[in-house]
């Protein structure tokens, strides 16, 4: 966990893209790279970009606020957090277009607010887990192997720089066009929605 955390914030300074990583798309100021994973036949992704008019601390708060996300993220079917032993476990059901089945995630996450030589950096890590109080549901495909790292820092103005790594295995038979759309359009659109959510969050809390 500690190594993943350190690696995440360092990517804000210098992207770590060893051999095999390829630029997948560059749109709306967001660069997405991907790496083919032979074991699963799926891709890992790294996202570099920023959000104007969304300060870093506000961006981190919005990302962590599950109740607020249910208001602005149209793909959320269900989202809740419960105590499971020592951890707080999140259950998240994502809407998929017909005729595909919805997917759900069960995961834990951690937020760390770092001071790196005077720089304030927010890092959020998430990993899927298996817990008895969230068994798989009929008609919904459970996503396994979900991993995400998010690092956020001020851009020196009124916005923030963002690095995100993610991988998941959505299971089932998903058409290639949908996987490509989710990576090329879904991530930039999610960040655009999050930018709007930051502005709404300021208004709702003022």
Contact between residue 91 and residue 104 where contact means Cβ atoms under 8 Å apart? yes
What does each C-alpha distance from 5 to 98, 160, 187 come to in angstroms? 37, 18, 21
What pLDDT score does 186 carry?
Answer: 79
Contact between residue 8 and residue 150 where contact means Cβ atoms under 8 Å apart? yes
Phi, psi torsion values for 43, nearest 5 degrees: -115, 145
What pLDDT score does 204 carry?
Answer: 54
What pLDDT score does 39 carry?
Answer: 83
Per domain, the residue ranges of the chain are 50-160+170-205
CA atoms of 167 and 103, how far apart (whole Å):
14
Which tokens hold the place of 42?
């799926």
What pLDDT score does 79 carry?
Answer: 97
pTM to 2 decimal places: 0.91
HEC string of the chain equals CHHHHHHHHHCCCCCCCCCCCEEEEEECCEEEEEEEECCCCEEEEEEEEEECCCCHHHHHHHHHCHHHHHHHCCCEEEEEEEEECCEEEEEEEECCCCCCCCEEEEEEEEEEEEEECCEEEEEEEEEECCCCCCCCCCCCEECEEEEEEEEEEECCCCCEEEEEEEEEECCCCCCHHHHHHHHHHHHHHHHHHHHHHHHHHHHHHC
CA atoms of 158 and 198, how far apart (whole Å):
12
Radius of gyration in angstroms for the set of CA atoms belonging to the chain, rounded to a whole number: 17
Q: Among the CATH numbers 3.10.20.30, 3.50.7.10, 3.20.19.10, 3.30.530.20, which is that of 50-160+170-205?
A: 3.30.530.20
What pLDDT score does 202 carry?
Answer: 64
pLDDT along the chain (206 residues), means of 10: 89 94 90 90 92 94 95 95 85 90 95 95 96 92 93 95 92 76 80 92 60
The single residue listed with the structure tokens 């570099």 is 48
Dihedral-angle region of residue 98 (phi above 0 means left; psi in -120 to 50 means alpha; beta otherwise) = beta
């Amino acid at each position: 966990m500690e190594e993943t955390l350190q690696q995440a914030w360092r990517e804000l300074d210098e992207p770590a893209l060893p051999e095999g990583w390829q630029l997948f798309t560059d749109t709306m100021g967001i660069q997405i790279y991907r790496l083919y994973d032979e074991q699963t036949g799926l891709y890992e992704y790294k996202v570099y970009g920023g959000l104007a008019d969304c300060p870093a601390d506000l961006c981190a708060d919005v990302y962590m606020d599950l109740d607020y996300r249910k208001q602005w993220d149209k793909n959320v079917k269900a989202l809740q957090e419960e105590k499971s032993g020592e951890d707080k476990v999140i259950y998240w059901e994502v809407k998929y277009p017909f005729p595909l089945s919805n997917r759900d995630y069960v995961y834990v996450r951690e937020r760390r607010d770092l001071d790196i030589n005077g720089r304030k950096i927010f890092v959020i890590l998430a990993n899927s887990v298996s817990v008895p109080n969230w068994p798989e549901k009929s008609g919904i495909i459970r996503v396994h192997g979900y991993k995400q790292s998010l690092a956020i820092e001020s851009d020196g103005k009124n916005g923030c720089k963002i690095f995100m790594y993610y991988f998941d295995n959505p299971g089932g038979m998903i058409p290639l066009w949908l996987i490509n759309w989710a990576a090329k359009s879904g991530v930039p659109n999610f960040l655009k929605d999050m930018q709007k959510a930051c502005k709404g969050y300021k208004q709702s809390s003022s």
